[in-house]
Structure 1
């Protein structure tokens, strides 16, 4: 709209300029003695007086001008240095030399009573630039002299003034003498060589040759006249490349014809070339349609501005993993494509509709003259092609900034190449049409060609009809709109199919191979957990690291595979994940063969150091990556083949918040609630309860954009998204990261309530959180499950010691060690720093009462600053198991 308004303002300014007296037909200076005057001194409506008005004025009686010879634009200050040369050759040399001597008169003859007629036998010429008409001959201006070519100029020749009248205005033009020299050459090839050597195109520093014309008499003689005339069309300032430029050739033909007649009949015989005169013409006011002149280029940019919007939006969802987040909550590929494509189609249609309507309201002929139905079909097909192209290219971009820069380079590059290259090829009739069609396969050039055709049919400066494009005009061989519509329609379908195919193969979590479209011809087998033939690749584990609880979990998984039950929501059978080596680094097993069964109503916690493989395991379970081997079943569905079915009953809180920054918290929950088939009042109630349960309801937080949320608020919103819609399986990857203690406690209460009727897998680094929320824990180290059980079992199994701490002065450290040795010789010192010592005391060797008694004795013998006795914590268990596993890996 802004651009159309700008065009209207430019059009208004242009119309105002053209409405000035300078461009009005029939304006002359009120004082006839003045050649130039201000607008206030001009009288309009009577005469025309300068070149700018010739285009517009009605000229019922065109003026008569003396015919001129086109001369090279040489500077002639004196008579001696002012000369012009004509070259001659012929097969019959004597004949040619005889005829050429009759070319120029020996002196200027004038008749003051009839000046125009007296100029006819003389040879006048000018070096000024010829124009496209003779209504106003540029040679007759005071700035440029007119030369009279003679065989010899007088010694003292200052020229004479030639008075003439044009539309009632009397003016004078100086005519100076210049020598006309005829120069003989032996052959046409000699002349051609000389012309080639003196051709100085584009080099103003070197003097341009003074050759006016070349005459080759060929085989002429007394019985026949056969001559070839060449003229100098490379003079400085002569715009002979313009197809409509007037060339001062008739005088050359008249000169050689006169010379031949005088050779035959004597010097008194002449063909008088008295004047040249244009045809009469009607008034044609100047009207420059800015929109039509600039439309092909600038309208191309306007329409292409939609492309970066679509592309960056698609790449943004890909970069922020929002699409996979939607997919994990049940949005399939088909509905995603339909919704996204429909949204951008509606947006583009509204954009183009406003574009055409606004341009039409403002009266731009580009829109008003051309048939609206053709415009509708053209724009509709193109925006569909543009959206399909954006979908295709989005598969190859992973970064929004890269996509944005590339898109805008394409936008402006397409406009510039279209305006300064492609349009030239279209206008050049000799350029092969097949190459034009090949170039139009690029959507940007197809768009430019269509807009160019609209501009041509709405331009008064075009040779085409100026009442706009109609459907019948599409059958015209010159009009390229028909081929553009066919090309764009075919490309639309092809690009859309290719884009969908590439998206299915390359998109994260699709799980489809390059030949996925052939699976419809294969026999479909329903998955069943009862099949005992499930492959268990790489089921061998390190025997030294196997613990009874891990072995027991594996046997439990095997039993469930043979005797399936609906009570266990998640079953993992020897699942592995291997990342190949890169840049010379060896590959790594992120998951080394995991056996796990999680029933409904249980929160299973995964503990492990950074890089242990917890997130890799979650990524396989939620469909972000594929397992290297093994199998996993969720609600009885295989994650390798039925991930789309699993998504409908799954909730995910990823390690990093995947949110739209422009949507509010409430809008996020409404969207994901709809994906879980919640509607109406049930959806509203679920959203309100989720907001309240995670403390996102009060203070306007729910209706604030997620981009303005703090890290803790985003984390709580991610947990709310994972729980909305009552999913049967929930994955929480470090859900309490960044939360303050109060918010963490609030979150724990929500998870405790949520786990009553669903299976939850939770990863965390907080031992307190694991102890408070998890029914069972698994410690994951270097891709392997080291132990599994509830917190109390793990503490009892791996932490059968008391932790005894005592702080005293450095002088009595040995006394403390002696006390501990008397309590139990199996004590293990684990910490020693500046008088503070820590020991692990086996529970079976020590009684708590004995410890208290020993401390009392020690206090009487030396100073005890502090002491303590504690049971094994979950953190101690975690550290112990992790150290043992890492030490084993080091030995391996």
Structure 2
């Protein structure tokens, strides 16, 4: 038996050959993101060249004017809202009615007392006036239709205005209150800025925000948020708000440090003369979350379809029946999909970066790698689990793509709003994130939020320290996906056969089931309430032999079946079906046992139980001394199977098939090469280069011969041949019979066939199986003697002579029975004990003298006659 490592190597070598033959398909799959992002990069450059998104302006010469802040319009200034829990310290919404809402500045830092002290110096209460405009802070609304100017103070006097020189001339500014609001950390500020600008039903704009971080009287470190989105098509340099916004905090710090009289005057700002330019645009935001979710999920239906295809074609079952364990198969399959998906995501990230998309360039690549790695493992394990549900590759493919596009729609039009809605319970959001596609959407949403904020502020996006913040959603997404990945992986392992979910009491049961003692030569086999009366002496002897062998230690019989039964449950309105009813059989080494029976008799169910495809309802069997119920994996390693269908890979050659299955039988080196050549020679596939042709080019007969060679390679102790000669020409059939006769010298073979000639030529014993039970057992000659003690006499005459022929036969034997009649041709069964062949010849000679005999024949009973007679009588008695 090949160990785990040898099985893994055998499967890996086979898969490498298989996937090398499908290299183009694999490359097309992996390079799908490359094509998309090359298109995106080209589109980005094209739109930039055409200036579709950019804002164009000229600055041929420096201009001067009073530096201005960019102040939100009165109807958009931040007020208290239920969607932002931190906004309770803001004014009520009613201030928007009369336009009295203050301009809000958010502040935070590690030292609240210091931060509030410095920020309190930004606006003057008394010094700003008509005669002292240097101490004033001026601003303009970003609603260009108003062209309204303000000066900011901590408290405003009624109807207090100040004239100010602007680029348009002297304008009158109104007093506007500046209100400071403390926040716990920069994440709260980030969320409030984003929610107020994008996520709520109405705009809730902040003037500016400052993070003083670790600043103190000896060290000044400030992080600034400012608005750069005026609606004007022209943006003069003196209206760029960053200079004025920074000047406010610099002066505030200087006054805290040196006294209230100190001020750094900021008179104007100018730019160097330059040519026309385009404003930078975040193209990743325009593509959106939905696009990225769709691209990443594209590989999921491919994986699911591939798994179900191998299940539908029974290729995995074929490998398992020849000794491949569950662990090597699922390990290699998992690693292959992981490799393909990883290369897919590497192309996704690399070419997304080359396309200049900020979600890749601004966020930490290590965080992105961990996020994508966990998610692709989650998708693969989910595909493994779902593959157990489907039996058709087409159904799995349709389901997979419906799932992808359904997730695309749900994420873009439903889940997106739930993420933005702070009133939606977080618990239910976590429940929705248990769906892998939505957890992907949520994680991408976090990456987008960080990259957009970083793009606006010219800073870095998501970093590992960002995950420590309590408001970070990425941390929860990573935890949910990791747990779900492990759970899906364990469930898949159990469902696909890696572990056995048995009753707790099963550990106390003996692994060797011993049959009850028999009572008499005439047995009654009772299984699950069904009583089968056995009258045939040969069947009685077989049951007694099985009873004796099971109680005898160290038996040499490779196959022993004891009261094996299979009952299919009621389904779709049909009653339960007992396919096999208490079958007992022992097959010795060197014996070929023929299992004959009409369609639906239960032969396939019996073979399926013996090969481990289905579990018996009751009873048991032993193959090579191993229990069918508990040691099936060990049985597979010493078993060869040729199923009714040719379960082969079209892109592998015949030699490659045999090399793979030979390695599963622990053949190596020269022994493997010799065994492969012998197997190919025995089925006439070594000549003419057929061994090195791809199986897809084989004819049906060549595929059948290769399937037989696979079943015999590696010297298995037990071989099951299910209608092996189907589709073979007479010469190939004769070669097959010779190969089976040669192979059965040290093997136990069970063969099913509808060819009585094949059964008579190959089988040492035959059992005719009808309605789930044996009706007779014995060698071909014994069965013909026992069930065919008659001659078959046939005579063809003119129709008017039919009565003379019938009288002639009755004179030969009064017990003769007419079995066939049509247009003067009659067939009779004549008991051998009633007549001799010489009497028959004399009677025919006499008949020829009296009337015209066109043709006549007398033959011994064939195995086909026995089969028809036994099957017909058994079905008649059952009905």
TM over 0.5: yes
Name the counterpart of 1:735.
724
Superposition pairs of residues 96-111 of structure 1, within 5 angstroms: none
Tell me: CA distance 1:576–1:400, structure 2 relative to 1, closer, same or farther (3 Å). Answer: same
How far is the alpha carbon of 1:702 from its aligned partner? 4.2
Query: Cα deviations across residues 247-293 of structure 1 (Å, max 9, x unaligned)?
Result: xxxxxxxxxxxxxxxxxxxxxxxxxxxxx998445889422232354
Would you say the 8 A contact 2:780–2:863 is kept in 1?
A: yes
Alpha-carbon separation, structure 1, partners of 2:73 and 2:480: 53
CA distance in 2, matches of 1:431, 1:789: 77
Corresponding residue of 1:95:
none
* 1:35-65 deviations in Å (ceiling 9; x for gaps): xxxxxxxxxx538xxxxxxxxx999668999
Q: CA deviation at 1:757?
A: 1.3
Query: How far is 1:568 from its partner?
Result: 1.0
Residue 638 in structure 1 maps to residue 627 in structure 2: yes
Query: Cα 1:621–1:854, aligned 2, differ >3 Å: closer, same or farther?
Result: same
Task: State whether structure 2 residue 12 is matched by structure 1 residue 5.
Answer: no
Distance in 1 (CA, whole Å) between partners of 2:824 and 2:322 is: 57
Shift of 1:791: 0.9
Counterpart for residue 375 of structure 1: 368
Change (3 A) 1:606 1:351: same
Structure-1 separation of matches of 2:616 and 2:240: 87
2:321 to 305, 328, 333: 328
Q: Contact 2:453 / 2:461 at 8 angstroms: preserved in 1?
A: no
Mark the structure with the bigger radius of gyration: 1
Q: Does 1:305 align with 2:309?
A: no
Q: 1:453 to 1:588 in 2, by over 3 A?
A: closer
Deviations 1:677-721 (A, max 9, x none): 223333333333333332344566545554554443333332222
Aligned to 1:837: 826
Q: Give 1:859 deviation, angstroms.
A: 1.8
State the distance in 2 between where 1:133 and 1:702 align: 85
Deviation at 1:240, TM superposition (A): 9.6
Tell me how far 1:463 sits from its aligned partner.
Answer: 5.5
CA distance in 1, matches of 2:697, 2:865: 39
The verdict on how the C-alpha distance between 1:540 and 1:424 changes in structure 2, with shifts beyond 3 A counting, is closer
Counterparts of 2:533 and 2:434, CA distance in 1 = 65
Q: Structure 1: which 5+ runs fail to align? A: 27-44, 48-56, 71-86, 89-131, 141-164, 170-238, 247-275
Q: 1:471 to 1:666 in 2, by over 3 A?
A: same
| 2:13 alignment counterpart | none
When residues 824 and 473 of structure 1 are mapped into structure 2, their CA distance, relative to the original with a 3 A threshold, is same
The separation in 2 between residues aligned to 1:809 and 1:479, in whole angstroms, is 101
Structure 2: distance between partners of 1:665 and 1:768: 29
Contact 2:549/2:555 (CA < 8 Å) preserved in 1?
A: no
More helix by share: 2
Shift of 1:484: 1.6
Change (3 A) 1:551 1:847: same
For 1:17, the equivalent position in structure 2 comes to: 50
Identify if the C-alpha distance between structure 1 residues 682 and 362 changes in structure 2 by more than 3 Å, giving closer, same or farther. Answer: farther
Q: Are the structure 2 counterparts of residues 277 and 322 from structure 1 closer, same or farther at C-alpha, using a change threshold of 3 Å?
A: closer
Structure 1 residue 607, shift from structure 2 partner: 0.8
338, 347, 355: which one aligns with 2:348:
355
Distance 1:497 1:14 in 2: 49
SS in 1 for 2:661: helix
Contact 2:796–2:825 (CA under 8 A) maintained in structure 1: yes
Deviation by residue 1:744-797 (Cα, 9 ceiling, x = unmatched): 223222222221111110111110110111111111111111111111111112
Shift of 1:475: 1.8
Q: Among 841, 856, 861, which residue is 2:845 paired with?
A: 856
Aligned: 1:617 with 2:617: no
Partner of 1:387: 380
Tell me the residue number matched to 1:500: 493
Tell me how far 1:552 sits from its aligned partner.
1.8
5 Å-filtered alignment, 1:349-748, equals: 349-459=342-452, 466-504=459-497, 512-515=500-503, 522=507, 525=510, 527=512, 537-538=526-527, 546-698=535-687, 701-706=690-695, 709-748=698-737
Quote the offset at 1:408 in angstroms: 1.3
Separation (CA, whole Å) in 1 of partners of 2:432 and 2:573: 44
| Cα pair distance change 1:358/1:685, threshold 3 Å | farther
When structure 1 is superposed on structure 2, of 455-464 and 737-746 the one drifting more is 455-464
Instruction: Give the 5 Å matches for 1:238-257.
Output: 241-244=202-205
Once residues 772 and 849 of structure 2 are traced to their aligned partners in structure 1, the CA distance between those partners, rounded to angstroms, is 52
Task: Give 2:810's aligned residue.
Answer: 821
SS, match of residue 304 in structure 2: helix
> Which of these residues, 335, 339, 345, is aligned with residue 342 of structure 1?
335
> 1:240 and 1:785 mapped to 2: Cα distance?
78
SS in 1 for 2:310: helix
The alpha-carbon deviation at position 466 of structure 1 amounts to 3.3
Q: Cα 1:16–1:68, aligned 2, differ >3 Å: closer, same or farther?
A: closer
User: Equivalent residues in 2 for 1:860-875 (5 A)?
Assistant: 860-875=849-864
How many residues align structurally?
Answer: 673
Query: Contact between 1:457 and 1:466, CA under 8 Å: does it hold in 2?
Result: no
Please give the secondary structure, in 2, of the residue aligned with 1:632. strand
Instruction: Decide which of 752, 771, 774 is 1:785's aligned counterpart.
Output: 774
Q: In 1, are the aligned partners of 2:595 and 2:751 still within 8 Å (CA)?
A: yes
CA distance in 1, matches of 2:671, 2:351: 44
1:798 equivalent in alignment to 2:798: no
* Aligned residues of 1:589 and 1:783 also touching (Cα < 8 A): yes
The gaps in structure 2 that reach 5 residues or longer are 1-33, 76-96, 99-138, 148-164, 170-199, 208-235, 243-270, 272-276
Provide the residue aligned with 1:765 in structure 2: 754
User: Contact 1:459–1:466 (CA<8 Å) still a contact in 2?
Assistant: no
Secondary structure of 2:558 counterpart: strand
Deviation string 1:455-489 (CA, Å, 9 cap, x unpaired) is: 33333675576323222222234432222212211
Does structure 1 conserve the Cα–Cα contact (< 8 Å) formed by 2:603 and 2:769? yes
- What CA distance in whole angstroms lies between the structure 1 residues aligned with 2:406 and 2:832? 79
Counterpart Cα distance in 1 of 2:554 and 2:421: 77
1:46 pairs with 2:60:
yes
Change (3 A) 1:710 1:802: same
Once the 2 structures are TM-superposed, how far is the Cα of residue 397 of structure 1 from its aligned partner?
2.2
